[in-house]
Amino acid sequence: MKMKVAGVVLFAVLIFMMVGCATLESAGHKYAMRGQILEMIDGAAYLCVGEKQGAQVGQQFIVYRFAKIPSHSPKSTIPSYKRDEVGRVQIVELVGEHYALAKVLTGEVKPNDVVELK
């Protein structure tokens, strides 16, 4: 009998966790929207962020670049990275569900840089 109750409780907890994760994904896009710069053409940045993720024309994004930190220990095999802010962009046009065109407001942004909603 105790095993049956434990199984029902475990099942309920798993269902609760799955529902929580589903809602968390949509909240993550709304409050912590992130993407990547795919390409730069004539000073414009094509972002891998679109209306499917909740992007809107006029939104500003901070642009980050990750740089490897040199290890001071010859025994260290695990690399470390730092995140540097390199600029800001603003969406001027949504291109389909998953992409956007943005103008560069500040900095020198490059393909593969990460963008995060300001």
The model's pLDDT over 64-99, given as tens digits with 9 standing for 90+, comes to 999 988 877 777 778 888 999 999 999 999 998 999
DSSP state of 92: E
- Classified as helix, coil or strand, 64 is strand
| Burial (CB count within 10 angstroms: exposed 0-12, middle 13-18, buried 19+), residue 48 | middle
Predicted structure pTM score:
0.68
- What residues does each domain of the chain span? 1-31, 34-117
- In CATH terms, 34-117 corresponds, of 3.20.20.80, 3.40.109.10, 3.50.50.60, 2.40.10.410, to 2.40.10.410
